[in-house]
Amino acid sequence: MKAIVFQQHGDPTVLHYTDAPEPHLRSNEVLVRVRACALNHLDLWVRRGLPGVAIPLPHIPGSDISGEIAATGSDVTTVSLGQKVVLAPGVTCAKCPACLSGNDNHCREFTNLGYKIDGGCAEFVRCPEVNCMPYPENLEWAQAAAIPLVFQTAWHMLVNRAQLQPGDDVLILAAGSGVGSAAIQIAKFFGARVIATAGSEAKLAKARELGADETINHSTAPIAKEVRRITDGRGVNVVFEHVGKATWDDCVKSLSIGGRLVTCGATTGYDANLDLRFLFTRQLSILGSYMGTKNELRTVLKLVAQGRLKPVVDKVLPLQECAAAHAYLEQGQQFGKVVLTVP
């Protein structure tokens, strides 16, 4: 089969469109003919190499996949040949207490398609049957692939970790990112008031189109000060964070008394500071979040099929142009997802 393969870590030039062996199925797995694969920041980290994380080489990246069932293992009973599917990115043991309780993103063997195992930047990918999710028939292949990772991550952060309530004020960082554009929609769905940040007026206009009530241009205005102005000095109930060191102080200062900050990333650096006096006197909650559960993704896909949550696609390119897509994502000019299609 044709696939994007890298033999060593490095810049986008390590990504090659080449021949790779077709995956061998286990009895509980399916083979999926990939139609589209969306990129995430995770793809950039995996390609560059992460300290302390061994990525098996050669490697096929890509976590967010839509396609059709091309073959099934002997134990597979819930999907059939030719069926359209969206794949849950998280692959887990399916046997441990975490998996059995539905908290599969707590599984100690958790990985993503395209992370420590081969992914969807290829004509075919294999995955466990339980990762096959119902396909929202109102979506094109590229739109469907733009859903899983960012929507399940944003859902888990806001709904599970931060316990978002109707009427809450929510600050959403980097509205132009995939996870930010998903978070705006989910927060609005739950009846929150959304304050979104981005670095350009064009991105802020798109954030308002998605439902943001207030916007802050973080390249011209200090975030915490603007949040205080918008909330009459109170601060927000929830901060949705994934930027890291560059915005951390502003995010903590933007919280109201009893506020919750939830974070899923540290794109600009991980060694942030926290003034403990501020933490206890203002009774803040600092919450970590990682990916989401398969069941949360099922809920998201139901709402997508009803048209209540929508994928935000910035750019669609053919699989062969994966390296150019990585370079584009690294520039940070996109609003929403960059998706590769496999004709």
Extract the tokens encoding 7: 């033999």
| Torsion sign across C-alpha atoms 267, 329, 260, 153 | negative
SS3 215: strand
Residue 27 phi, psi dihedral angles, 5° rounding: -65, -25
Give min distance, CB of 24 to Zn ion, in A. 23
SS3 214: strand
Give min distance, CB of 95 to Zn ion, in A. 6
Q: Which residue is nearest to Zn ion (CB)?
A: 107
The interface with Zn ion within residues 98-127 (CB under 5 A) comprises 99, 107
Q: Which of 310, 341, 265, 308 is nearest to 2 (CA)?
A: 341
| Interface map 38-77 toward Zn ion (x if CB under 5 A) | ----------------------------------------
| Interface map 274-293 toward Zn ion (x if CB under 5 A) | --------------------
Give the residue with the Cβ less far from Zn ion, 298 or 308. Answer: 298
Give the residue with the Cβ less far from Zn ion, 293 or 334. Answer: 293
Give min distance, CB of 26 to Zn ion, in A. 16
Q: Which of 242, 280, 286, 283 is nearest to 260 (CA)?
A: 286
In sequence order, which residues have a C-beta less than 8 Å from that of residue 299 and are 6 or more positions away? 155
List % helix, strand, coil for the chain (3-state, nearest 5). Answer: 30, 25, 40
- The separation between CA 257 and the C-alpha centre of its own chain, rounded to angstroms, equals 29
Extract the tokens encoding 23: 């995956």
Give the residue with the Cβ less far from Zn ion, 92 or 293. Answer: 92
Give the residue with the Cβ less far from Zn ion, 130 or 338. Answer: 130
Give min distance, CB of 109 to Zn ion, in A. 6
Give min distance, CB of 111 to Zn ion, in A. 11
The secondary structure of residue 105, as a DSSP letter, is: G
Under 8 Å between Cβ of 104 and 98 = yes
Give min distance, CB of 107 to Zn ion, in A. 3
The interface with Zn ion within residues 218-257 (CB under 5 A) comprises none
Give min distance, CB of 100 to Zn ion, in A. 8
Q: Which residues pair with 33 in a beta bridge?
A: 68, 124
The interface with Zn ion within residues 123-182 (CB under 5 A) comprises none
Give the residue with the Cβ less far from Zn ion, 44 or 93. Answer: 93
Give min distance, CB of 40 to Zn ion, in A. 22
Give min distance, CB of 163 to Zn ion, in A. 25
The interface with Zn ion within residues 77-96 (CB under 5 A) comprises 92-93, 96
Give the residue with the Cβ less far from Zn ion, 70 or 107. Answer: 107
Give the residue with the Cβ less far from Zn ion, 130 or 196. Answer: 130
Give the residue with the Cβ less far from Zn ion, 103 or 268. Answer: 103
Q: How many residues bind Zn ion, per CB under 5 A?
A: 5
Give the residue with the Cβ less far from Zn ion, 65 or 91. Answer: 91
Cα separation of 191 and 234, whole Å?
19
Is the bond preceding residue 58 a cis peptide, omega within 30 degrees?
yes
Under 8 Å between Cβ of 307 and 152 = no
In sequence order, which residues have a C-beta less than 8 Å from that of residue 198 and are 6 or more positions away? 174, 175, 176, 180, 204, 207, 215, 217, 218
- In the complex, the residues that contact Zn ion under the rule CB under 5 A are 92-93, 96, 99, 107
